Amino acid sequence: MKLKGDLLKTVSSYFDLLEDNVEIILQKGNHPKRDDLFDFLNKIVSLSAKLSIVEAEIDSKYSPITFSISKKDRGASIFFSGIPGGHEFNSFILAILHVGGHSTKLDDSVISQIKSIDKQLDFQVFVSLDCQICPEVVQAINKIASLNSNIKCETLDGGLFQDLVKEKGIQAVPSIFLNGEFLSSGKTNIPKIIDSLKQKNLFMFEKRVLDKDLKDCVIIGGGPAGISSAVYLARKGLNVTLVAETIGGQVKETLGIENLISVIETTGEKLTSDLHGHLLDYDVQVKEQIIVDKVSDGTLKKVYLSSGEILQTKTIIIATGARWRELNIPGEKENLGKGVAYCPHCDGPFFKNKEVAVVGGGNSGVEAALDLSGIVRKVSLIEFMPNLKADKILIDKVKQSKNIEVFTNTASKEIISNKGKVEGIVCENRVDKNNFTIKLKGVFVQIGLVPNSKFVANIVNLNEFGEIVIDENGNTSKKGIYACGDVTTIPYKQIVISMGEGAKTALSVADYLIKDFDSMRVKEAV
């Protein structure tokens, strides 16, 4: 990675935030890439007097292109194996800042949870420098490691450790291993990691604590709908708390956005940053990297958080969006990360010059097929319905492609594998009912989204698709509980529509608090 003057100047300004001295230790040994890595690290270290670099034997298990980041004279918890360029450059700089005492910007309750872990945890995260999801995962685990000396995290550039990638059967990034055992593949975050530790009995859940501050509204979800609601309510001078796994939600994973009116072109990452910046302009309490376990109904409602806190509130807005829909066929979950994937941008390079399938003929599926066609040998595009459902301009491009074969009226029945690697997908021709097998090495699932509504399934009415049923003002079946965005029954799942729905729902909440809330409390008391 070439470090240009403007970039170095920017990084240097970030290092002004360092509070403690940070030492980078480069493992001794020989490797073709070691000189490049050493030169790279020296340029970074030269940017601050609080940084230093030494060559030493960290541990024999590490490669000659492994380096650690630690406070001087203290044990290291964060390691990188490879040159942290591409999308991982930010992860590297943030790791230095967090080890050096700069705030992780995590909620106090989450920090307390992390610091209470008393088990020895050794994470390995295999990444691709071209992966857009990987940095979020790396940064999440690095934050955890920077807060607790019992926890270590090594980030490995899979492209430089092909033997290890093959040995572990990795076919998707990010792939996370904990104490040598596979933990998960794909997108994750701090609350999900903590939850997985609880499931493995590696972490004890602390008792819940009631927050005595009564909120006017708790917004659950940090995508366009949730942030829009928060801004509108804050402008009314209301006491608002927004709880989110991650700011941006599903939008953060979107590459190009060209249909947001007045914004000719942007990216999911840029839009997320803009949304977050707008949110921070207002007096809104933001609790990020936290999952809502459940909510309870009543005139005064309670929101139970994965951090152990219980929030009390007059109203709730559910804006939790949606997630990738699964095929739910044999072989899908079993081969996740071993040939089954949901992000063509992240995992496409693993299948260079190989045959793959994309299941789903809507815009997402067709776009994925077109993206992959420039990398792989052949793409089989599988659609359940008689015709592709994507926009005409995308379908026309598919017709022009020489290595995309379209299968319509085709049901995906089973993903087959051998020795931990995908070898094909069994399909059914829905016209003649005959089964056939497409030989391939990867299956990318692009069949739409599932609403994130399970945690309120026993509280509000859902439709057959799991969407929260709302009226034209965002009201659910329970007074004082509202919903907006992709988690609801609104017919069109678009960013601009979610923003509008969020604003409309916020106005509905404000109206309820002015006109109805006090009378509801009186009735309940009687």
Q: Which residues contact 227 (CB under 8 A, 6 or more apart)?
A: 242, 247, 275, 276, 278, 279, 502
Assigned token pair, 103:
């705030």
Res 517 pLDDT > 60:
yes
Q: Which two tokens stand for residue 4?
A: 């240009």
Give residue 337's region: left, alpha or beta (phi > 0; psi -120 to 50).
Answer: left
Is pLDDT of 523 > 60?
no
The mean per-residue pLDDT over the stretch 492-513 comes to 95
Question: How many C-alpha atoms does 108 have within 13 Å on its Cβ side?
Answer: 4
- Which of the two residues, 380 and 187, has the higher pLDDT score? 380
Asked if 17 and 53 count as a contact pair (C-beta separation under 8 A), the reply is no
Q: What is the pLDDT of residue 390?
A: 92
Distance CA 165, CA 190 (A): 24
pLDDT at 105 over 90: no
Six-digit token string for 430: 């829905």
pLDDT reported for residue 335: 84
Give the predicted TM-score (pTM) of the model: 0.80
Token pair 């139970």 in the structure block, residue: 304
The tens digit of pLDDT for each residue in 302-328 reads 999 999 999 999 999 999 999 888 999
CA dist 439 to 80, 152, 253, 380, 416, Å? Answer: 37, 40, 29, 10, 9
**Position 201 confidence tier, pLDDT thresholds 50, 70, 90:** confident
Domains of the chain: 5-199 (3.40.30.80), 209-323+450-525 (3.50.50.60), 333-447 (3.50.50.60)
The residue type at 248: G
User: Could you read off the pLDDT of 20-64 as tens digits, one per residue?
Assistant: 999 999 999 999 999 999 999 999 999 999 999 999 999 888 999
**Total residue length of the chain:** 526
Region 210-215 average pLDDT: 94
Q: Which residues pair with 310 in a beta bridge?
A: 210, 304
| Secondary structure class of 62 (helix, strand, coil) | coil
Strands 404-407 and 378-382: parallel
pLDDT in tens, 142-182: 999 999 999 999 999 999 999 999 899 887 889 999 999 99
pLDDT of the residue at 524: 57
pLDDT at 516 over 90: no
pLDDT, average across residues 197-215: 85
- AA identity, residue 52: S
Residue 522, pLDDT above cutoff 60: no
The pLDDT, as a whole number, for residue 492 is 84
Question: What's the one-letter identity of residue 500?
Answer: G
Give me 337's structure tokens: 């990360």
pLDDT digits (tens, 9 = 90+) for 243-291: 999 999 888 877 678 889 999 988 888 999 999 999 999 999 999 999 9
Rg (CA), the chain: 24
Phi-psi region for residue 266, left (φ > 0), alpha (ψ -120 to 50) or beta?
beta
Tokens of 272: 């997320």
pLDDT above 80 (res 518): no
449 neighbors 362 (Cβ within 8 angstroms): no
- Catalytic residue IDs: 343, 346-347
The bridge status of strand 66-71 relative to strand 22-27 is antiparallel
What is the C-alpha to C-alpha distance for residues 155 and 135, in angstroms, rounded to an integer? 10
What local confidence, expressed as pLDDT, does residue 526 receive? Answer: 41
Average pLDDT over the chain reads 92
User: What digits encode the pLDDT tens for the residues 438-468?
Assistant: 999 999 999 988 999 999 999 999 999 999 9
What is d(CA 140, CA 135) in angstroms, rounded to the nearest whole number? 8
Distance CA(356)–CA(373), nearest Å, equals: 9
Q: Is 518 helix (H, G, I), strand (E, B) or coil?
A: helix
Beta carbons of 100 and 52 less than 8 angstroms apart: no
